[in-house]
Amino acid sequence: MKAERGVPGLKTDEILWAGEPCDPRHLFGRSAPLEIEIGSGKARFLIEAARTNPSHDFLGLERSLSYYRICRARVARAGVTNIRVLRADGRTLLECLPARSVHALHVYFSDPWPKKKQRKRRFLDGATLELLASRLEPEGLLRIATDHADYGAAVASLCETVGSLERLEWDRYPEPPLTHYELKYRAEGRPIWRFLLRRV
């Protein structure tokens, strides 16, 4: 990995993923259904999901250095062996994975970039949804959640443009563990927009 400019003293694993090939079998030392969370934050979903599904491997991606450090520390304390965490941009990492190699993708409460001039910075757009779909195995699942109404409306429209994804009711499969954000937003009574998509 190449060192980031202007950020001295990073540990090797803290350097942002630069686009090398990624082999999950090498990361986990086995071949198992792979689930990826893009934007793992404080790792609550990762840890609970991995504990519940020990036969699956869970890869957490976190671009923010401060949140990556929190996530890494909490995963280490949890001692769950089927989790790995990488400091990586979600698009960059997914482009390094083979097509149809992921069992499930999770995108929870990504930054909504609410101002009109910021919207181009949102993680989810048409091209990214196509990329996510291409990495899912047949009948693989993509779960998305947001508390931002405009972002939720935009995602709903985008989902209609990707022919390889079909939208299902959120409760079609068992509900995934909640993230820290969802626990917080539920307590505040905020409405949450949820999307469950399956690769056809």
- Quote the pTM value: 0.94
pLDDT along the chain (200 residues), means of 10: 56 91 92 98 97 98 96 98 97 95 97 89 94 98 97 95 96 96 95 97
CA distance 60 to 45: 10
pLDDT at residue 20, rounded to an integer: 87
CA distance 126 to 152: 14
pLDDT at residue 9, rounded to an integer: 72
Distance of CA 183 to the CA centre of its chain: 17
Strand 83-86 versus strand 102-108 pairing type = unpaired
H or E element at residue 149: helix 149-159
Question: Catalytic residues, which ones?
Answer: 111
pLDDT at residue 4, rounded to an integer: 54
| Domains of the chain and CATH, by start | 34-199 (3.40.50.150)
Taking the CB of residue 98, how many other CB atoms lie within 10 A of it?
Answer: 12
Sign of CA dihedral 145, 146, 147, 149: negative
pLDDT at residue 2, rounded to an integer: 43
